[in-house]
């Protein structure tokens, strides 16, 4: 498995995401993918499946120290007391004494960012969290969060797929030593019928999903894949035995379009950065 290094963290570049995954499927798939080479699992308090992620890890038989586990604090828990309590609850559900990465899930200007970052640092310094970061932050919020933090932030987890230009966030993250973790890589399935991607996939004897995942990791980024199918999970992992040419990378970048963003919930989304 390829590793991305960022501000002291070593993060497997391919992660298994569990967003909107029912509990029984979560436990089954987490156990399966860990038994078949994945070493990075991503969940969140709001997903409602942290307990099943923990059960899946135990069921897999993989040693806790051999995998990278991420969860996210929900926006309603950003006040200091609620934040600390919510992290303790997440650890109980996950059946572990620490997570490898804890993220702020979305911006919430109802709580001072300094308070949010302070709580992130507190749980890290207490040994409950090995690394900290953010999710769905724009460039300005990401820089401000990094400025406020005693400890380095290691990633910003954001929507990223061929139809969305995230170069502003990617470049800003790199400038402060942070990685970017991509979610929604399949653009809710939209990529699967794209003729440009289909042609590239055919040239490599790969699936469109494999090409998109490869396009992201080949940029030095982290990507989350998600499926409830064991065979699809194996396919998604088979992205390290081929490489895209510079022209193919450029052709995929050229698919970005205005209005390509798909995840922008009212009341949570910040003012997004626009590509130059």
Catalytic residues: 47
Helix intervals (H) in the chain: 23-35, 50-60, 80-94, 113-125, 139-148, 167-175, 195-204, 208-217, 230-237, 246-253
- Count the Cβ atoms, other than its own, within 10 Å of residue 129: 23
| Distances from the Cα of 4 to the Cα of 13, 185, 221, angstroms | 6, 18, 7
Query: Binding site annotation covers 105?
Result: yes
Query: Cα–chain-centroid distance for residue 120?
Result: 17
Q: Are 14 and 221 in contact (CB under 8 A)?
A: no
Distance, in Å, from the CA atom of 177 to the CA atom of 147, rounded to the nearest integer, reads 12
Burial class, 274, CB count within 10 angstroms (exposed 0-12 / middle 13-18 / buried 19+): exposed
Helix%, strand%, coil% for the chain, nearest 5: 45, 20, 35
Query: Cα–chain-centroid distance for residue 20?
Result: 14
Q: Are 174 and 153 in contact (CB under 8 A)?
A: no
In DSSP terms, which residues pair with 104 in a beta bridge?
Answer: 73, 134
- Count the Cβ atoms, other than its own, within 10 Å of residue 251: 17
Q: For 253, how many CA atoms within 13 A lie in the half-sphere containing its CB?
A: 12
Known binding residues? 105
Q: Which residues contribute to the annotated binding site for substrate? A: 105
């Amino acid at each position: 498995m390829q590793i991305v290094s960022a501000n002291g963290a070593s993060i497997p570049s391919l992660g298994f995401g569990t967003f909107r995954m029912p509990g029984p499927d979560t436990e089954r798939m987490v156990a399966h993918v860990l038994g078949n080479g994945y070493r990075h699992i991503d969940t969140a308090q709001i997903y409602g499946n942290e307990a099943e992620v923990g059960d899946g890890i135990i069921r897999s038989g993989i040693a806790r120290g051999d995998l990278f586990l991420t969860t996210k604090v929900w926006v309603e828990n950003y006040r200091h007391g609620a934040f600390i309590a919510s992290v303790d609850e997440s650890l109980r559900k996950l059946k572990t004494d620490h997570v490898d990465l804890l993220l702020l899930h979305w911006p919430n200007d109802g709580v001072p960012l300094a308070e949010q970052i302070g709580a992130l640092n507190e749980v890290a310094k207490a040994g409950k969290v090995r690394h900290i970061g953010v999710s769905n932050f724009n460039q300005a919020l990401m820089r401000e969060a990094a400025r406020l933090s005693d400890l380095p932030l290691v990633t910003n987890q954001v929507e990223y797929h061929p139809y969305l230009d995230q170069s502003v966030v990617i470049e800003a993250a790199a400038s402060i030593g942070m990685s970017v973790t991509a979610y929604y890589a399949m653009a809710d399935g939209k990529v699967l019928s794209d003729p440009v991607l289909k042609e590239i996939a055919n040239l490599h004897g790969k699936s469109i999903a494999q090409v998109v995942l490869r396009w992201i990791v080949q940029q030095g980024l982290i990507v989350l894949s998600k499926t409830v199918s064991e065979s699809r999970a194996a396919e998604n992992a088979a992205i390290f035995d081929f490489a895209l040419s510079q022209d193919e990378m450029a052709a995929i970048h050229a698919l970005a379009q205005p209005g390509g963003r798909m995840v922008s919930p009212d009341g949570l989304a910040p003012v997004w950065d626009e590509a130059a």
